[in-house]
Structure 1
Amino acid sequence: MIVLGLVVGSFLNVVIYRLPRETSIVSPASHCPACKRRLKPLDMIPVISYIVFKGRCRYCSAPIGWRYPAMEALTAVVFVAAFLVAGWSFLLVKYLFIGSLLLAVAFIDLEHYIIPDSLNIVLAAGGAVLTLLARDITLVQAVAGGAVVGGTLLLLGLLFQGGMGGGDIKLGAALGLALGWPLAPLGLVLGSLVGGISGLILMAAGLKGRRDAVPFGPFLALGAFLAVLWGERIIRWYVGIYL
């Protein structure tokens, strides 16, 4: 899982860089953005190449952003965590698929404040197919998850102009369909809590003002991942308080 995660993370770096720029994620081959030199396999070994070449291009010495090794390492962590939850199953494939897309969404939203429609469409379509294979949720649960999460974000967007972008709403609906009830709504709650706390910290540190935009996609992605890892335990704990 670690090696697979590192390799997928390397590909996600390409998606994160090219998709917002509306260029093909297939061609041209990977190259240095500064000198345009085509990269060789030795230049693209996940994490290791970054360390060996001290975070710089081997040909022109242009600095390479920290995001590249961070994404590769983070994807490996997500893959291992998903395996510990689902084991060898179709559910594992589903969680790896969702986790990969959410990582791409989170980093694109952080950098560009957008969530490409193409990622939301792939998440919804791929999630539906893998749900049929994994059989972890029913059709009713999928529709309920999509309606609750997408509907809640749509309502917030209507009530608070500019408070919720269209990409966030579409992501919520797609994620709701993929994870279903009750994990998707729980992911929304967890993501909102983390986002709210993070916003307060940023304002207290003077890094953000009350009217400054903060991308919600990364928090929704994190909330969904936390729900996948510990959702059932959290729900049992919460229900146990009132029973």
Structure 2
Amino acid sequence: MYSYIVLYSFLLGITLGSFYNVIGLRVPAGQSIIMPPSHCPSCGRRLTILDLIPVFSYIFLGGKCRTCHSKISLLYPIIEAGTGFLFLFSFLRATSIEEMLCGWLLVSLLMIMLVSDLEYMLIPDKILMFFLILFTIFRIIYHTNPWWDALAGMATGFALLALIALISHGGMGGGDVKLFAVMGLLVGMKLVILGFFLSAFFGAIIGIGGLILGFIKHRQPVPFVPFIVLGMLTSFFFGDRLIAFYLNLTF
């Protein structure tokens, strides 16, 4: 039975990951996520079930459209597989249904935002509002301990990022500020603070490395959500251990 749940977690993840690609690509462009049906962006052919099997269709088709042979973006299978493995990891690490669902919700928000930021460098308010409502319902059903932690996390996520945006004169975008506020509602004050500092750490390390290696040019705009994904997921999955390790070093 356990092995079936493990498999289900992964299959659910890659299936939703395929849908998250659609949301992340269409919503920022002002398009419907339902119509038109999935189609090749190059030749316009409507995709069939053989084209829409998450991850596996990309592999079987060699990363190309069956009709016009144009290349399919590698982003699609990366998001699908990434969501699948993260859903599976969330299940394997969870000690309760609440923790598992919390992980799935956080992964879902981050994967959608990752697609949107990589393609458009936008964090759409419509998607944030949807998840704000979803997270609120989740926190009403599953109370945090203490009860005020969710509200404190939301306020802290907003205030911390808003202050940095003010000091940096626009170096931090308004979408990032709102994203951390929404995530703070879900994960609480402690983890959202740690998640921000880890995001900044990963961004600095990878950014400096990119400049040295020539992958990133000076003053080139760089999407910040990939670093938020790394930082927040590290905080969510390993935050308590990292905080305990730090406290043991300093006290």
Q: TM-score range by the shorter chain?
A: over 0.9
Q: 1:210 to 1:196 in 2, by over 3 A?
A: same
**Per-residue Cα deviation, 1:155-181 (whole angstroms, up to 9, x for no partner):** 111111120111011111111111112
Q: Which amino acid counterpart does residue 41 of structure 1 have in structure 2?
A: I
Unpaired stretches in structure 2, ≥5 consecutive residues: 1-8
Q: 1:55 to 1:121 in 2, by over 3 A?
A: same
Q: 1:142 to 1:95 in 2, by over 3 A?
A: same
Where does residue 122 of structure 1 map in the other structure? 130
Q: Which amino acid counterpart does residue 68 of structure 1 have in structure 2?
A: Y
Q: Residue 148 of structure 2 aligns to a residue in which SS?
A: helix
TM-score if structure 1 supplies the norm length?
A: 0.94
Matched, 1:11 2:27: no
Matched, 1:148 2:177: no
Q: 1:209 to 1:35 in 2, by over 3 A?
A: closer
Runs (4 or more) in structure 1 with deviation over 4 Å come to none
Q: Cα distance, 1:87 vs. partner?
A: 4.8
**CA distance in structure 2 between the partners assigned to 1:32 and 1:88 by the alignment:** 41
Identity value in percent? 37
**CA-atom RMSD, angstroms?**
1.6
Q: Cα distance, 1:137 vs. partner?
A: 4.3
Segment of structure 1 superposing worse, 200-209 or 169-178: 200-209
Unpaired stretches in structure 1, ≥5 consecutive residues: none
Q: Do the aligned partners of 1:20 and 1:108 also contact (CA within 8 Å) in 2?
A: yes
Q: Which amino acid counterpart does residue 122 of structure 2 have in structure 1?
A: I
**CA distance in structure 1 between the partners assigned to 2:168 and 2:62 by the alignment:** 46
Q: Which amino acid counterpart does residue 130 of structure 2 have in structure 1?
A: V
Q: Which amino acid counterpart does residue 69 of structure 1 have in structure 2?
A: P
**CA distance in structure 2 between the partners assigned to 1:90 and 1:161 by the alignment:** 39
Q: Residue 20 of structure 1 aligns to a residue in which SS?
A: coil
Q: Residue 21 of structure 1 aligns to a residue in which SS?
A: coil
**CA distance in structure 2 between the partners assigned to 1:196 and 1:139 by the alignment:** 34
Matched, 1:70 2:82: no
Where does residue 219 of structure 1 map in the other structure? 227
Q: Do the aligned partners of 1:137 and 1:180 also contact (CA within 8 Å) in 2?
A: no
Matched, 1:201 2:209: yes
Where does residue 229 of structure 1 map in the other structure? 237
Segment of structure 1 superposing worse, 30-39 or 201-210: 201-210
TM-score if structure 2 supplies the norm length?
A: 0.91
Q: Cα distance, 1:88 vs. partner?
A: 5.6
Where does residue 186 of structure 1 map in the other structure? 194
Q: Cα distance, 1:226 vs. partner?
A: 0.8
Q: Do the aligned partners of 1:94 and 1:131 also contact (CA within 8 Å) in 2?
A: no
Where does residue 27 of structure 1 map in the other structure? 35
